Amino acid sequence: MKSVQYFSKEYLERCGSMRPEQILQFLEDFRNLHSHDKSQRTTLISIKVPENLLNAFRAKAKVTGIPYQTQIKRLMEEWMR
């Protein structure tokens, strides 16, 4: 069963003001995000994170059995949905 997605009035108004090239870029980004192609290129990033936050995140990831970088990617994908 597919879930139903509801959109707020504000979201629909914002989407209504998008230019065609913005819509195309959004659709391409969405397609890439949901592509299950494992050969998709990855990019190395550098980010400053407070040491205590990173240590706590790593510890929690270890307890759950999920590599912490995998969990970061999952959180990023979830946020994009």
**Whole-angstrom distance, CA of residue 63 vs CA of residue 5:** 33
Confidence (pLDDT) at 61: 93
Residue 80 scores a pLDDT above 90 = no
- Residue 31 falls inside a structural domain: yes
Q: 58 with 31, same domain?
A: no
Question: What's the domain range around 75?
Answer: 45-81
Q: Mean per-residue pLDDT for 15-44? A: 81
Q: 26 with 55, same domain?
A: no
Confidence (pLDDT) at 77: 85
Confidence (pLDDT) at 9: 87
Phi, psi of 2 (to 5 degrees): -85, 145
In the chain, the number of structural domains is 2
Confidence (pLDDT) at 47: 94
